[in-house]
A and B are shown apart, each in its own frame.
Chain A
Amino acid sequence: MSLSIQDLKASLEDGTEILKGVSLDIPKGEVHAIMGPNGSGKSTLSKVIAGHESYEVTGGNVTLDGEDILDMGIDERSRAGIFLAFQYPAEVPGVSNANFIRAALQARLAEGEEIDAVAYYKDLYDKMDLLEMDRKFTARAVNEGFSGGEKKRNEILQMLMLEPKYCIMDETDSGLDIDALKVVAKGVNAMRSPDRGFLLITHYQRLLDYIKPDHVHVMADGKIVKSGGPELALELEEKGYDFLKELVPA
């Protein structure tokens, strides 16, 4: 059981190829980290897996526990178990966080089934407590006027509430101070389980001090150029991305 990416190629509408054959297998229970310089295609990989319509998949495939997801719509993939914690989450003016998360949960129920409001709020408050979020947060509009740290916590809160099978986290550490990073890591670590896989996309090794990966991959120019254990992240930190130049054939 895994989120399996095989030789995935994707281009922008203007034909620019961004992913040039990415292969990666994320079994349940494991945490994988992808590191790489800006423009290497890390964020694009996360968006293509989620189904963003700005990219056209030109080759390869993506399966979730054996099921092909590339033909599914964005919302279907989400309900099938893919969660993307955004680097820059969109604002949804006028829609409260509580209503938004509830709408997302409601979307997972069969027709005619309703969320139990009391149980929902209990669950929501428990998870907000874990992330040290103020109760007032429920009434605020989704991401509107949120600080960078609040947005990231909100992403983790949604992830906790939706209990996805595979969590893809795009630069969740960017813009976080160390205290916020610890809180976010606490939320993620609370979710680690044999039934869930993680893909962490990050520019810096720092996040990996708090969320220990099982495997680290380095991406450059639309491909995974090196894979290894946690020590690879440290090596990268030490040598900088320049050492990748040796790995990428000119």
Chain B
Amino acid sequence: MPEEATVTVDQETQDAINIDRSKGDFRFPERNKYDAGRGLTEKTIDYISDVKQDPDWVREFRHRALKTFLDKPMPTNWATEDLNNIDFDIIRYYLSDGERPKRSWDEVPADVLETFERLGIPEQERAFLAGVEAQFDSEAAYSNVKEDLSKQGVIFVNSTEGLKEHEEIFRPWFGKVIPTGDNKFSALNSAVFSGGSFIYIPKGLKLKQPLQAYFRINSENFGQFERTLIIADEGSEVMYMEGCTAPKFETATLHSAVVELVALKGAKIQYVTVQNWSSNVYNLVTKRGLAMEDAEVRWIDCNIGSRLTMKYPGVIMKGERARGEVISIALANDGQHQDTGAKMIHAANNTTSNVVSKSISVGEGRSTYRGQVHIPKHLKGCKNNTECDALLINSNSRTDTYPAISVRGNQHATQHEASVSQVSEEMLFYMQQRGIDEGHAMSLAVNGFINDLVREFPMEYSVELKRLIDLEMEGSVG
């Protein structure tokens, strides 16, 4: 008897698998003091630079980036044609109420405060965070770090403030890990960036609590282009977490961030993302870290929302014994495409990288893994481990894996494993025979699949992931 390969998803199952996207599905009327208008031209750049009172070097940087963006073709030679559906002419590239980021929630405008309260941010800050930045459309509405940390030299501000007030630390690294021309969307971000975090952790300081940024889109036909730069000085440690939501609009919205991490000698940066954009957001993000001698960069990434996500966090291991890691979970539901992966560039001896990627495709959802591991010939003692596992729930789901491992020389150890599995009819029958209904059986199977990776996320973190955890952890207490 051939085993039935397809499992149809009924509404109950769908509900059990679905993350609570309704949580972020609300919006307030716009009240923008500054609006760059629709479309992207030299004038848009000047408008943004004027409003932000950019120094000349930044204005020039933006203009050069715009040219690069316009020159570069859409990467549809390897990526999805859906990119061609982005209409750059109807997007508004900068929206803000003209307020500076507040240091106290009491000073944040009522509608913005209510937005973040509904998302649970102030509550989380009180409970377990060392600092928070909350961005509303183009600018941060709130940004604060615990006083004792700022006294010890921790800097946690938005990028605008970073480039002006801390130019001596900001400028040498800005655009160095991810050059403007890295790809079309890094160029776009470089032209119109606004918001995002600038973080500096002084030598030897190990932050016990995480820093968090929350990115919120409130306006339709808007593009959010935050720019984050984190520098962990020698021997320091920091965990940074970001969350994102948007209401569900009728038309597509664009989110295109650039995130650069610099871990100096012996430093450790963990960057945690729980992406829960609504299903009309194009999420096209470039993220890369530089790890110097004995340093470690870890990307812990969960993508459960958006229409299309393209994101391949990378680590350049530039110093000896540097370590890079990407842990990623992607869930592609009906109408979604999660195109994610990892880039590991070994550039020194005895460097180690690890990639563990798990994707779940439900209904018409599509998951793609693209990996790149590069170890050049002249190096010795480099190691890479790559594991990609895909779980398919119903016959229409699609998953593709494109691993590219270029290893030159023979003094390295690399390992690659990939698997595609289904929630089989026999597994469901077994669980149902124990009295568990199909929906719960399915969610148990899904949560079991990602269970080992969910442990990598800070437990307290996000409402969205907590729900995921709850489903499986339902009573894991002992």
Q: Is the beta-carbon distance between A74 and B429 smaller than 8 angstroms? A: yes
Q: Is the beta-carbon distance between B448 and A94 smaller than 8 angstroms? A: yes
Contact A92 B431, CB 8 Å, known A75-B438, A98-B476, A100-B444 = yes
Q: Which segment, of B52-60, B180-188, B402-410, B420-428, faces chain A?
A: B420-428
CA distance A99 to B434 in the complex (A): 13
Q: Which of these, B1, B434, B477, contacts A158 with CB under 8 Å? A: B434
Q: Which segment, of B167-175, B359-367, B449-457, faces chain A?
A: B449-457
CA distance A79 to B473 in the complex (A): 22
Chain B residues near A84 (CB, 8 Å)? Answer: 433
Chain B residues near A99 (CB, 8 Å)? Answer: 444, 472-476
Q: Is the beta-carbon distance between A78 and B448 smaller than 8 angstroms? A: no
Q: Is the beta-carbon distance between B451 and A54 smaller than 8 angstroms? A: no
Q: Does A204 contact B (CB under 8 A)?
A: no
Q: Mark B435-478, 1 if CB is under 8 A from A, else 0.
A: 11110110011011111100000000000000000001111111
CA distance A121 to B435 in the complex (A): 19
Chain A residues near B476 (CB, 8 Å)? Answer: 96, 98-99
Q: Is the beta-carbon distance between B444 and A54 smaller than 8 angstroms? A: no
Chain A residues near B429 (CB, 8 Å)? Answer: 50, 52-53, 74, 90
Q: Does A73 contact B (CB under 8 A)?
A: yes
B11 to chain A, nearest CB (A): 15
Q: Does B4 contact A (CB under 8 A)?
A: yes
Q: Does A210 contact B (CB under 8 A)?
A: no
Q: Does A130 contact B (CB under 8 A)?
A: no
A168 to chain B, nearest CB (A): 10
Q: Is the beta-carbon distance between B4 and A74 smaller than 8 angstroms? A: no
Which residue, of A50, A90, A108, has the highest number of chain B Cβ atoms within 10 A? A90
Q: Is the beta-carbon distance between A75 and B436 smaller than 8 angstroms? A: yes
B154 to chain A, nearest CB (A): 37
B63 to chain A, nearest CB (A): 51
Q: Does A129 contact B (CB under 8 A)?
A: no
Q: Does B61 contact A (CB under 8 A)?
A: no
Q: Which residue in chain B gives the minimum CB-CB distance to A107?
A: B435
Chain B interface residue count, Cβ-Cβ cutoff 8 angstroms: 33
Q: Is the beta-carbon distance between B434 and A95 smaller than 8 angstroms? A: no
Q: Is the beta-carbon distance between A94 and B435 smaller than 8 angstroms? A: no
B465 to chain A, nearest CB (A): 16
A39 to chain B, nearest CB (A): 13
Contact A117 B475, CB 8 Å, known A75-B436, A162-B434 = yes
Chain B residues near A127 (CB, 8 Å)? Answer: none
Chain A residues near B6 (CB, 8 Å)? Answer: none
Q: Is the beta-carbon distance between B474 and A106 smaller than 8 angstroms? A: yes
Q: Which residue in chain B gives the minimum CB-CB distance to A144?
A: B448
CA distance A99 to B472 in the complex (A): 8
Chain B residues near A75 (CB, 8 Å)? Answer: 432-438, 441
Q: Is the beta-carbon distance between B434 and A100 smaller than 8 angstroms? A: yes
Q: Which residue in chain A gives the minimum CB-CB distance to B445?
A: A92
Q: Mark A79-98, 1 if CB is under 8 A from B, else 0.
A: 10001101001111111101
CA distance A115 to B475 in the complex (A): 8
Chain B residues near A78 (CB, 8 Å)? Answer: 432-435
Contact A103 B1, CB 8 Å, known A90-B430, A92-B444, A94-B447 = no
Q: Is the beta-carbon distance between A74 and B432 smaller than 8 angstroms? A: yes
Chain A residues near B449 (CB, 8 Å)? Answer: 93-94
Q: Is the beta-carbon distance between A102 and B424 smaller than 8 angstroms? A: no
CA distance A100 to B434 in the complex (A): 9
CA distance A218 to B320 in the complex (A): 72
Q: Which of these, B424, B426, B436, contacts A103 with CB under 8 Å? A: B436
Q: Is the beta-carbon distance between B474 and A103 smaller than 8 angstroms? A: yes
Q: Does A244 contact B (CB under 8 A)?
A: no
Q: Is the beta-carbon distance between B432 and A73 smaller than 8 angstroms? A: yes
A87 to chain B, nearest CB (A): 12
Q: Is the beta-carbon distance between B435 and A95 smaller than 8 angstroms? A: no
Chain B residues near A101 (CB, 8 Å)? Answer: 434
Q: Which of these, B1, B424, B438, B448, contacts A95 with CB under 8 Å? A: B448
Q: Is the beta-carbon distance between A95 and B475 smaller than 8 angstroms? A: no
B476 to chain A, nearest CB (A): 6
CA distance A138 to B438 in the complex (A): 23
Which residue, of B433, B441, B452, has the highest number of chain A Cβ atoms within 10 A? B433
Q: Is the beta-carbon distance between B445 and A95 smaller than 8 angstroms? A: yes
**Closest 6 CB pairs between A and B?**
A94-B448, A95-B448, A90-B430, A78-B435, A94-B451, A74-B432
| Sample of 15 A–B contacts (CB below 8 Å) | A50-B429, A75-B436, A75-B441, A78-B433, A79-B435, A86-B433, A94-B449, A95-B447, A100-B444, A104-B436, A107-B434, A107-B435, A117-B475, A158-B434, A162-B434
Which residues of B are interface residues toward A (Cβ below 8 A)?
A: 1, 4, 424-427, 429-438, 440-441, 444-445, 447-452, 472-478
Q: A74-B429, A75-B433, A90-B426 given. 7 additional CB < 8 A pairs?
A: A51-B432, A54-B1, A78-B433, A95-B447, A99-B476, A103-B436, A117-B475
